Amino acid sequence: MNLAGLNKVSDYVWRIEPQGAMRVPAVLYADEALLRDMDDKVAEQLRNVASLPGIVGAAYAMPDAHWGYGFPIGGVAAFDPAEGGVISAGGVGFDISCGVRTLYTGLRKPDIEAVKTRLADHLFKTIPAGLGSTGHLSLSIREMNAMLREGARWAVEQGYGTGADLERTEEHGCMAGAEPGRVSVHAKDRQKHEMGTLGSGNHYLEIQHVSAVYDAAIARAYGLEEGDVVVSLHCGSRGLGHQIGTEFLKAMVLAAPGHGLTLPDRELACAPLDSDLGRDYLGAMRAGINCALANRQILTHLTREAFAEILPEARLDLLYDVSHNTCKEEEHRVDGRPRRLFVHRKGATRAFGPGHPALPRPLRDAGQPVIIGGSMGTGSYILAGSGRDLAFASACHGAGRRMSRNQATRIWQGRAVVDELAGRGILIRSPSLRGVAEEAPGAYKDVAAVVDAAEAAGLARKVVRLEPMVCIKG
Amino acid sequence: MTGWEHFQHMADIGVHGWGASQAEAYEQAALALTAVVADPATVRAETPVPVVCAAPDPELLLVDWLNAWIYEMSTRKMLFSRFAVVLEAGGLRGTGWGEALDPARHHPAVEVKGATYTALKVGREADGLWHARCVVDV
């Protein structure tokens, strides 16, 4: 990115002052090196978002921001319905409520090393991953609607997991205000056989060990010590979310002139929160959130079953579950005054600070766990909400790609990537070697630089680093 | 005269088809879409599946056309390697020929979530051919 148009506020905060159609400034949280690596499109997309009606505060970019669809990926923007604020399907993304959850195991690194290959093979057999894989359950329309209304709570009622899991999930596992009736038959068709599947692309299930502790007090509150083993899984709302995104993007493009919206980019398609289309999308998108929460809950259950066969002493309690493609109605103080806002986080994680009432009691004093997925070779991080409420209490979500999939497949061979990682003690299991090549660790940015910038900017505090031992790649 | 290719996009993949007519460009773009998932040469064009798309302009129609195949691939668990398009007022009627997805033979790499409006362009270009392109989210 050309830094000429940016005002440097500090080493980690940069601003674009309102110009042209911009109603608010744009704020980028990143160091100079990360910014220089960012596409100029990120700044252009932020300026476009800052021009949308009813935007409050600023249009924000996280340190892992990259060129997205209308909104940058790694973008945060909040809108006030009372001021003509909008909701945008592109501002949420196709994979509604894609996110990460991390489970404890109660085990230490040597416990896994002893059975690593068997465990990897067994998980790969148990967890449906990759294109064309189908889940173990097929939902009737009545069950589908109940799942879309109730989310992970529905899954627990069906026997997938326990009530304790719900306490450790955003929205207690059930997004209120979901309207299954606003989800099309096509979207439900795409989901019929996909409950409890991981998907493909950058989705994964990993066994990881805590390789570094940065904040001992918060790590203790989170129940994590160096050498502990956890399981993290990254996936979203599968075909249902993708279809909701596809259909509402088109509907919002077609309806924009009628809503008096001129869009500099069709991907910015949005609708007033106070409109039939805006309300319909909100109801459907919330159902999509519930689909993702139910999906991760079912995958959790499958993971527990797989562990029970090989390591019966393991206890896979949930640490926390975060989503990073959402729009949520939240209360935030703006200029000293509390306001109800609709906060879009596209490739950004909510990061509530210490004491926030939405957090479960055992985690409340420490602040919300912010789970950052890395690439399969590098590592992941758990951060904690800082309590500074920057960017409406948001932080980054991952490493972000450094190069395209085509470039990656020209540089790396899937088999060589698997062998190289195996040499470093990381077992990869994937139905697709080309998929592995496209997801090669070198195709991603340095996740360490991203979380360092997030901490230095005050978005979140670094708590622990996680390194992969086994990766089931979709 | 006809052909397809992928073009670079940081997080995702661009599909680009071209031909002597708008319909051919759409057909080729759909082949490029298949190629995001698997090598079209490995897919037998056995079973026909019809789709109908409606959109107010050629660019939105391309997105609809590609999204129709993303839906068919996802719900039928099929891949397609031959396409035919007949343009109509306000939309198109199309057919794709393919077969059931066989992971052992097709080695599918990645699932496509949706066609996007990024780098979306449909039209006749300086070479006299019709080109249809956009980025698909994977």
Interchain CB distance below 8 Å, B11 and A68: yes
What pLDDT score was predicted for residue A445?
Answer: 85
Checking if the pLDDT of A175 tops 90, the result is: yes
- pTM of the predicted model, to two decimals? 0.96
Checking if the pLDDT of B102 tops 90, the result is: yes
β-partners of residue A470 are: A207, A427
What pLDDT score was predicted for residue A289?
Answer: 98
Mean pLDDT to the nearest integer, A167-183: 98
Closest in A199, A250, A405 to B60, CB measured = A250
Interchain CB distance below 8 Å, A431 and B12: no
Interchain contact A411–B (C-beta under 8 A): no
What pLDDT score was predicted for residue A377?
Answer: 75
Interchain CB distance below 8 Å, A432 and B109: yes
What pLDDT score was predicted for residue A463?
Answer: 98
For residue A70, the chain B residue with the least C-alpha distance is B118
Interface of A with B in 348-377 (CB under 8 A): none
Those residues whose C-beta lies under 8 Å from the C-beta of residue A176, and which sit 6 or more positions away, are A286
HSE, CB side, 13 Å, CA atoms: give it for residue A427.
Answer: 16
Token readout for B37 is 């998932």
Interchain contact B103–A (C-beta under 8 A): yes
What pLDDT score was predicted for residue A116?
Answer: 97
pLDDT in tens, B108-127: 988 899 999 999 999 999 99
Mean pLDDT to the nearest integer, B4-12: 87
Of A457, A472, A463, A453, nearest to A381 by C-alpha is A463
Residues of A in Cβ contact (< 8 Å) with B90: none
Instruction: Report CA-CA distances (Å) from A87 to A16, A341, A369, A422.
Output: 23, 11, 27, 45
Interchain CB distance below 8 Å, A69 and B138: no
> For chain A, which residues make up each domain, given as ranges?
3-402+444-473
Interchain CB distance below 8 Å, B103 and A431: yes
For residue B60, the chain A residue with the least C-alpha distance is A250
What pLDDT score was predicted for residue A137?
Answer: 85
pLDDT in tens, A318-330: 999 999 999 999 9
Interchain contact A185–B (C-beta under 8 A): no
CATH number at residue B99: 3.55.10.10
A39, A242, A324: best to mutate for the B interface, most B CBs within 10 A? A242
pLDDT in tens, B36-74: 999 999 999 999 999 999 999 999 999 999 999 999 999
Least confident piece of the model among A150-154, A433-437, B28-32: A433-437
Q: What whole-number percentage of chain B has pLDDT above 90?
A: 89
Instruction: Report CA-CA distances (Å) from A245 to A20, A183, A286.
Output: 29, 10, 12
Banded pLDDT at B6 (limits 50, 70, 90)? very high
Q: 3-class SS at A140?
A: coil
Of A39, A48, A30, A139, nearest to A86 by C-alpha is A48
| Cα separation, B106 vs A434, whole angstroms | 11
For residue B38, the chain A residue with the least C-alpha distance is A434
Checking if the pLDDT of A474 tops 90, the result is: no
Interchain contact B67–A (C-beta under 8 A): yes
Number of domains in chain B: 1
Checking if the pLDDT of A419 tops 80, the result is: yes
CB pairs under 8 A between A and B: 111
CATH architecture of A3-402+444-473: Alpha-Beta Complex (3.90)
Q: Which of A203, A301, A324, A397 is catalytic?
A: A397
Interchain contact B34–A (C-beta under 8 A): no
Average pLDDT, chain A: 95
> Which residue range is the domain that position B23 belongs to?
3-137
Closest in A67, A70, A200 to B110, CB measured = A200
Q: How far is A221 from chain B (nearest CA, A)?
A: 36
| Cα separation, A31 vs A445, whole angstroms | 14
Is A397 tagged catalytic? yes
What pLDDT score was predicted for residue A446?
Answer: 86
Interchain contact A132–B (C-beta under 8 A): yes
Mean pLDDT to the nearest integer, B6-16: 88
Residues of A in Cβ contact (< 8 Å) with B56: 254
Interchain CB distance below 8 Å, B118 and A69: yes
What pLDDT score was predicted for residue B99?
Answer: 98
Banded pLDDT at A403 (limits 50, 70, 90)? confident
Of B114, B59, B57, nearest to B89 by C-alpha is B57
Banded pLDDT at A52 (limits 50, 70, 90)? very high
Residues of A in Cβ contact (< 8 Å) with B103: 130-132, 431
For residue B106, the chain A residue with the least C-alpha distance is A432
Interchain CB distance below 8 Å, B67 and A190: no
Q: What whole-number percentage of chain A has pLDDT above 90?
A: 87
pLDDT in tens, A276-302: 999 999 999 999 999 999 999 999 999
pLDDT in tens, A67-96: 888 999 999 999 999 999 999 999 999 999
What pLDDT score was predicted for residue A134?
Answer: 81
Tell me, what amino acid is at B41? Answer: A
What pLDDT score was predicted for residue A246?
Answer: 94
HSE, CB side, 13 Å, CA atoms: give it for residue A22.
Answer: 20
Interchain contact A65–B (C-beta under 8 A): no
Interchain contact B47–A (C-beta under 8 A): no
Token readout for A152 is 């992970």
Interchain contact A112–B (C-beta under 8 A): no
What pLDDT score was predicted for residue A251?
Answer: 96
Interchain CB distance below 8 Å, A246 and B67: yes
A132 phi/psi in degrees, rounded to 5: 90, -10
Banded pLDDT at A200 (limits 50, 70, 90)? confident
Checking if the pLDDT of A2 tops 80, the result is: yes
Checking if the pLDDT of B10 tops 80, the result is: no
